[in-house]
Amino acid sequence: MKVSFPAMRGTMGQREYYSCMMKLSVVPKMFTFRDWAEFTPEEREQRVLNQKRIPAIAKYITENEDGFLFSSITASYKCAVAFKPTGTEGLGMLEMDFQEAEFVINDGQHRCAAIAHAIKENPGLGEETISVLLFPYENRDRMQQMFSDLNRFVQKTSKSLDILYDKRDPLSRLTLEVISNVDVFEGMVDQDAISISVRSPKLFTLSAIYDSNKELLRDHDVHGDDEDGEGDSFNELVATSIRFWRRVATHMTAWRSVRDHHMRAMELRQESLASHSTILRAIGSAGADLMRDYPNDWEERLAPLETIDWRKANRDWEGVCVVAGSVSSNRQSRQATRAYIKRQLGLPLSDAETRSLTPAKEQVSEIAQ
């Protein structure tokens, strides 16, 4: 049985290729997956399919039917094809025998698998189309080179930039609202990078404030649909978050010093932990506990933040979020920092949090006893 697709014939790297349009319903039929796990790395023409990635991509499709977007799938064909021009500029129809069609997916195998998964949930998606670049198969070395070329220069966007551009994520939108309405954040947030350069005039990263809001609102349904009477009102959560960070800012004298131009952001970052992502997340987490346990007076209970010595030279931080003179942001450091700030705010600690603040040598002694 012959199948044909609208296509444009072109040349790239001195090789002829075709840019085709395929319905999503055709993708699972045309592109099957080879289990490359049974081959050694040097024998593979593609990386091993990671099954854990597929549900997340499929969910992205089904939850965003009115706006999902994919780049082209790239594959190499191992069958005879016939291009029938229908006009100028290389336009035409690409024809092949369906029974003989065989492809190696050079780029997009997880997209293909996710498309198949999504169509099972919603067959109507099969009418959507995707662009596919088809190259003639040459040999294994060429397939490996194509994989390397397609992936070598791919630059993953920063988490901050993902947050800034993601209009679907309510927490992203909430975080941007917070930044716009809390004066110490305005103009002080790097919305591109996940780490601040040494001489940057910025004090915080967008990703750090996002993670802090995630901690702050962990007991709330940020994705709730208040129109149906379920979950939390988005506007109420925005108002609560703004209120929280404004109150925190009144007790963070170091932040205000930078805002009022009494100190440069670079100097504060060099000398203090006050604006570090680990500290922000810990404050957000402690704030969630305060709001839960003291719903009527949590704002007043943030006052001890003003008495904390945020200097990196403060030996209290050693073993908490400073290890061998460097600031740490791993899971253990985040837990210990959260426990430290909770203790300063008079909040009770769990056994695990108490242990996180116990020096390692003391823990060894306790076990020995």
Query: Is the per-residue pLDDT at 75 higher than 50?
Result: yes
Residue with the bigger pLDDT between 256 and 324: it is: 256
Q: Do residues 115 and 179 share a domain?
A: no
State the average pLDDT over residues 281-302: 96
Most confident of 132-136, 152-156, 164-168, 362-366: 132-136
CB within 8 Å of 152: residues ≥ 6 apart: none
Query: Is the per-residue pLDDT at 364 higher than 70?
Result: no
Beta strands in 112-224 (DSSP E): 129-136, 189-190, 204-205
Tell me the per-residue pLDDT of 229-256, one tens digit each, with 9 for 90 and over: 455 689 999 999 999 999 999 999 999 9
DSSP notation for 206-237: HHHHHHHHHHHTTTS-TT--GGGT-S--HHHH
Would you say residue 317 lies in a domain? yes
Q: Do residues 132 and 165 share a domain?
A: no
Q: Which of 93, 118, 152 is the last residue of a domain?
A: 152
pLDDT at 248: 97
Q: Do residues 304 and 339 share a domain?
A: yes
Would you say residue 320 lies in a domain? yes
Tell me the per-residue pLDDT of 32-63, one tens digit each, with 9 for 90 and over: 777 777 788 888 888 888 889 999 999 999 99
Would you say residue 113 lies in a domain? yes
Q: Which structural domain, as residue segments, surrounds residue 69?
A: 2-152
pLDDT at 224: 63
Number of domains present in the structure of the chain = 2
pLDDT at 225: 54
Tell me which residue of 32, 8, 190 sits closest to 98, measured CA to CA.
Answer: 32
pLDDT at 102: 86
Say which amino acid occupies 132.
Answer: V
Q: Do residues 86 and 213 share a domain?
A: no
pLDDT at 231: 55
Q: At what angle do helices 277-293 and 206-216 cross, to 10 degrees?
A: 20
Of 216-230, 233-247, 258-272, 295-309, the one with minimum mean pLDDT is 216-230
Tell me which residue of 19, 45, 36 sits closest to 104, measured CA to CA.
Answer: 45
Would you say residue 291 lies in a domain? yes
pLDDT at 17: 95
Query: Cα-atom radius of gyration of the chain, to the nearest Å?
Result: 27
| Tokens found for residue 146 | 């194509």
Tell me which residue of 310, 304, 307 sits closest to 345, measured CA to CA.
Answer: 304
Q: Mean pLDDT over all residues of the chain?
A: 89
| Tokens found for residue 266 | 């670079």
Would you say residue 368 lies in a domain? no
Phi, psi dihedrals of residue 55, rounded to the nearest 5°: -60, -40
Q: Do residues 61 and 164 share a domain?
A: no
pLDDT at 362: 42
pLDDT at 3: 87
| Tokens found for residue 201 | 């005039």
Of 147-151, 220-224, 243-247, the one with minimum mean pLDDT is 220-224
Q: Do residues 35 and 182 share a domain?
A: no
Cβ contact 146:74 at 8 Å: yes
Q: Do residues 299 and 178 share a domain?
A: yes
For the whole prediction, is pTM greater than 0.95? no
Would you say residue 366 lies in a domain? no
pLDDT at 47: 83
Q: Do residues 208 and 264 share a domain?
A: yes
Torsion-angle region of 314 (φ positive above 0: left; ψ -120 to 50: alpha; else: beta): beta
Query: Is the per-residue pLDDT at 157 higher than 90?
Result: no
Q: Which of 99, 134, 152 is the last residue of a domain?
A: 152
Q: Do residues 88 and 225 share a domain?
A: no
Would you say residue 132 lies in a domain? yes
From residue 194, give the alpha-carbon distance in Å to each of 26, 131, 200, 283.
40, 33, 13, 19
Q: How far apart are CA 269 and CA 273, in angstroms?
A: 7
Tell me which residue of 299, 304, 314, 305 sits closest to 243, measured CA to CA.
Answer: 299
| Tokens found for residue 250 | 């009144």
Q: Which H or E run contains 141?
A: helix 140-152
Q: Do residues 142 and 184 share a domain?
A: no
Q: Do residues 243 and 294 share a domain?
A: yes
Would you say residue 367 lies in a domain? no
Share of the chain above pLDDT 90, in %: 68
Q: Do residues 215 and 113 share a domain?
A: no
Q: Which of 152, 176, 205 is the last residue of a domain?
A: 152
